[in-house]
């Protein structure tokens, strides 16, 4: 059976399961559509959050970025897990006690202001749509590679599949399809890692293999990797970073953004009790950690395997002949994500870091430039092929990557649609809308969001993982501070919250647009996106943490200069702090 047929079987088979679950659980009433009847067990909910959470950025992109950056990119690992600590302690239990459907609804009620609710809807839509664009782009690329179609067709297929189960299924469909998706993606991610870890270190557990001895050389794996890549002029894999401020802020941005992303927060409305909301966050992190503890092992092992493939006799000897290149290189060359150019015409693939510091050594070896360029995003998808694993493992990773991208896209679309139908239409323009009408509006807004995201996903505003990190910065700067102050301060009032959210959102967007182009339109940036231009060396990806500080500061100053919130609002804050008296997850 050809690899194409195997891929088709795995991807098709997994999709059939998701769609069947979606149809089986087809939502009937509005309450089911949003919060799955409020009866989801913490472990089930934890898995669904895991699938919601781990997107194309975590599955496809992250290990490739760590492989390229080494220690310096550990921020992704800490940032995208550490946010759950904030969620569990600062938001989840209280929002569950409050017991509403959506995040803007909480902000609107707590800050007794329709305008606050609208600002929250705007923040939610900006952050979520930015995020979905990255997912659609990622799903499109994965589809096109494994189904061997062009990227536009891949994107269209992704849009249709997301549309079917998100629009027809609603939350209940999504909760159970996401449990299935979690299982597919975690199995797909860990199986190749187990094989590779065992091959390289003799330890079948990748997180332990990472710190074990490399069998072939007898030295620790990370030491071997450092030795191989520094011999080719690359930066030491485990080296410390120079700009610690930026690393701290980037990690903080990702953590706060994690806790501020509405598609994750609404998951906590679906557990039966306040105590379960706390457990749910813990279970979610366990399921997420299974991938996040495997990813750094995948990163270092794949990088080492890649170097061994190119220099089969060791880096001090000749590189592989181009004609002898393995099949996976040939296949990825077709997508254009691997490129080879024989600069010194010796028929071999010289891959090294082409910098002035390494020029003398390169010249001594007769090299005339780096000849091998690969996109970091292919690393996880190509990982099983690099390690010569059987065809079914390759099919499995295709299904896993698509599960990750599509499940997150669906979760985000649900958050967008509920904000539009519930907060905008029912909350403002047409309060007397029927259940059926509200459901219809939710489905229409989902469809519109899919069309917009698919359109923008065809020409994404930059690299997928970059777009996703921007979405986190936006959520960190706008929604998280408002939610947290709404619970922990009785003094912050409507004016303070609105001013804070706007200040955080706008300062962050402006900083991003100045470097990356206004509304992400290429060529409209005011300054080149280089560390020299950044304010105090803070990258646009890290600015969300500063935006959050601005948000907190503005909200406090404005609130203290204006009147205190009314007594009934202070009582409301009081009531969300104590679990007793919580209603059903779906009660109004």
Partner 1 sequence: MSEHADNAVKYWKANLRLILGCMIVWAFVSYGCAILFRPLLAGIQFGGTDLGFWFAQQGSILTFIVLIFFYAWRMNNLDKQFGLEEE
Q: Which two tokens stand for residue 17?
A: 């399961």
219 binds partner 1 (CB under 8 A): yes
Q: State which H helix or E strand residue 13 sits in.
A: helix 3-24
Rounded CA-CA distance 94/125 in Å is 23
State in Å, rounded, how far the first CA of the chain is from the last one: 56
Q: Report the residue from 93, 108, 460, 486 that binds partner 1 according to the rule CB under 8 A.
A: 93
Residues 6+ apart with CB under 8 A from 255: 78, 79, 82, 83, 85, 86, 476
Of 19, 43, 68, 90, the one binding partner 1 (CB under 8 A) is 90
CA dihedral sign of residues 354, 356, 361, 362? positive
Q: How far is the CB of 280 from partner 1 (least distance, A)?
A: 9
User: Helix (H, G, I), strand (E, B), or coil: what is residue 148?
Assistant: coil
Interaction residues for partner 1, span 301-360 (CB under 8 A): none
Q: Nearest to residue 78, comparing CAs of 296, 268, 235?
A: 296
The reply on whether position 193 binds partner 1 by CB under 8 A is no
Residue 411: Cβ within 10 Å count: 31
Contact between 578 and partner 1 (CB under 8 A)?
A: yes
Q: Exactly one of 37, 154, 262, 296 binds partner 1 (CB under 8 A); which one?
A: 296
* 238 scored as a contact of partner 1 (CB under 8 A): yes
Helices within 213-347 (DSSP H only)? 221-231, 244-260, 262-265, 274-310, 327-335
Closest by alpha carbon to 457, among 413, 403, 415? 413
Residue 112 has phi, psi (to 5 degrees) of 35, 55
Q: How many helices (H) and strands (E) does the chain have?
A: 24, 2
- The least CB distance from residue 334 to partner 1, in Å, is 33
DSSP per residue over 94-137, as a string? HHHHHT-S-HHHHHHHHTT-HHHHHHHHHHHHHHHHHHHHHHHH
The binder of partner 1 chosen from 273, 325, 490, 491 (CB under 8 A): 273
For residue 219, what are the β-bridge partners?
none
Site residues for partner 1, 65-84, by CB under 8 A, read 66, 71, 74, 77-78, 81-82, 84
Q: Are 5 and 146 in contact (CB under 8 A)?
A: no
CA dihedral of residues 237, 239, 240, 243 (deg, nearest 10):
-70
Residue 418, SS3 per DSSP: helix
Q: Is the CB of 341 or the CB of 574 nearer to partner 1?
A: 574
When binding is defined by CB under 8 A, the residue of 223, 331, 333, 354 that contacts partner 1 is 223
**Is 480 a binder of partner 1 (CB under 8 A)?**
no
User: Given candidates 5, 16, 89, 363, which one binds partner 1 under the rule CB under 8 A?
Assistant: 89
Cα–Cα dist 45/177, whole Å: 12
Tell me: does residue 495 bind partner 1 (CB under 8 A): no
The two three-digit tokens of residue 137, written as one number:
């782009």
Q: Does 212 bind partner 1 (CB under 8 A)?
A: yes
Query: Residues 503 to 522: which contact partner 1 by CB under 8 A?
Result: none
Contact 201, 211 (CB under 8 A): no
Contact 353, 307 (CB under 8 A): no
Q: Which is nearer to partner 1, 120 or 221 (CB)?
A: 221
Smallest gap, in angstroms, from Cβ of residue 70 to partner 1? 9
Residue 412 within binding range of partner 1, rule CB under 8 A: no
Q: Which is nearer to partner 1, 122 or 194 (CB)?
A: 194
- Binding-residue pattern over the window 244 to 263 for partner 1, x denoting contact by CB under 8 A: x--xx--xx-----------
| 285 near partner 1, rule: CB under 8 A | yes
Q: Which of 39, 69, 220, 233 binds partner 1 (CB under 8 A)?
A: 220
> Which listed range, 136-144, 238-246, 435-443, 525-533, lies at the site for partner 1 (CB under 8 A)?
238-246
Candidate ranges 192-200, 210-218, 353-361, 363-371; the one touching partner 1 (CB under 8 A): 210-218
Closest approach, Cβ 100 to partner 1, in A, equals 17
Q: Is 292 in the site for partner 1 (CB under 8 A)?
A: yes
What is the total count of residues that contact partner 1 (CB under 8 A)? Answer: 51
Q: Which of 39, 69, 207, 233 binds partner 1 (CB under 8 A)?
A: 207
* Region 103-142 residues binding partner 1, contact defined as CB under 8 A: none
Give yes or no for residue 100 binding partner 1 (CB under 8 A): no
Smallest gap, in angstroms, from Cβ of residue 258 to partner 1? 11
205 binds partner 1, rule: CB under 8 A: no
d(CA 539, CA 247): 9
Residues in contact with partner 1 by CB under 8 A are: 66, 71, 74, 77-78, 81-82, 84-85, 88-90, 93, 207, 210-212, 219-224, 226, 238, 240, 244, 247-248, 251-252, 273-275, 278-279, 281-282, 285-286, 289, 292-293, 296, 574, 577-582
């Amino acid at each position: 059976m050809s690899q194409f047929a195997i891929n088709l079987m795995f991807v098709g088979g997994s999709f059939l399961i998701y769609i069947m679950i979606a149809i089986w659980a087809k939502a009937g009433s509005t309450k089911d559509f949003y919060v799955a009847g409020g009866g989801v067990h913490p472990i089930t909910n934890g898995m669904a959050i895991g699938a919601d959470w781990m997107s194309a950025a975590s599955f496809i992109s992250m290990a490739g970025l760590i492989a390229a950056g080494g220690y310096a990119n550990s921020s992704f690992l800490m940032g995208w897990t550490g946010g759950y600590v904030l969620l569990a302690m600062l938001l989840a239990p209280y929002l569950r006690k409050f017991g509403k459907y959506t995040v803007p609804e909480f902000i609107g009620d707590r800050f007794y202001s329709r305008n606050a609710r609208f600002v929250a809807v705007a923040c939610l839509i900006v952050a979520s749509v930015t995020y979905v664009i990255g997912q659609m782009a990622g799903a499109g690329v994965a589809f096109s590679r494994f189904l061997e179609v062009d990227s536009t067709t891949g994107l269209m297929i992704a849009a249709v599949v997301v549309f079917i189960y998100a629009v027809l299924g609603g939350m209940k469909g999504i909760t159970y399809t996401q449990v299935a998706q979690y299982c597919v993606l975690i199995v797909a991610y860990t199986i190749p890692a187990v094989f590779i870890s065992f091959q390289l270190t003799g330890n079948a557990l990748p997180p332990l293999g990472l710190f074990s001895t490399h069998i072939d050389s007898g030295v620790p794996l990370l030491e071997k990797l450092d030795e191989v890549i520094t011999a080719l002029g690359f930066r030491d894999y485990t080296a410390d970073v120079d700009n610690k401020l930026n690393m701290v802020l980037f990690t903080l941005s990702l953590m706060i953004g994690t806790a501020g992303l509405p598609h994750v927060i609404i998951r906590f409305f679906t557990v039966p009790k306040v105590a379960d909301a706390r457990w749910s966050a813990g279970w979610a992190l366990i399921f997420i950690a299974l991938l996040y503890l495997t990813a750094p092992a995948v990163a270092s092992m794949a990088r080492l395997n890649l170097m061994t493939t190119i220099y089969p006799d060791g880096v001090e000897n000749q590189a592989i002949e181009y004609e002898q290149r393995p099949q996976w290189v040939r296949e990825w060359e077709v997508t254009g994500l691997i490129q080879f150019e024989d600069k010194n015409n010796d028929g071999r693939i010289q891959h090294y870091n082409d910098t002035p510091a390494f020029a003398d050594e390169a010249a001594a070896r007769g090299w005339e430039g780096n000849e091998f360029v690969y996109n970091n995003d292919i690393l996880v998808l190509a990982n099983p092929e690099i390690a010569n694993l059987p065809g079914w493992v390759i099919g499995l990773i295709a299904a896993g990557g698509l599960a990750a991208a599509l499940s997150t896209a669906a979760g985000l679309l649900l958050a967008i649609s509920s904000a539009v139908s519930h907060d905008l239409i029912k909350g403002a323009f047409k309060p007397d809308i029927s259940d059926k009408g509200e459901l219809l509006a939710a489905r229409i807004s989902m469809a519109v969001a899919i069309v917009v995201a698919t359109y923008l996903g065809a020409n994404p505003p930059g690299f997928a993982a970059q777009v996703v990190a921007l979405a986190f910065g936006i959520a960190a700067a706008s929604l998280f501070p408002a939610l947290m102050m709404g619970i922990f301060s009785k003094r912050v009032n409507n004016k303070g919250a609105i001013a804070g959210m706007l200040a955080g959102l706008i300062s962050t967007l402006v900083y991003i647009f100045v470097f990356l182009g206004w509304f992400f339109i290429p060529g409209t940036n005011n300054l080149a996106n280089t560390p020299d231009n950044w304010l105090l060396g803070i990258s646009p990806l890290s600015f969300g943490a500063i935006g959050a500080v601005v948000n907190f500061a503005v909200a406090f100053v404005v609130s203290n200069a204006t009147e205190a919130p009314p007594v009934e609002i202070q009582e409301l804050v009081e009531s969300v702090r104590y679990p007793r008296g919580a209603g059903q997850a779906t009660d109004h």
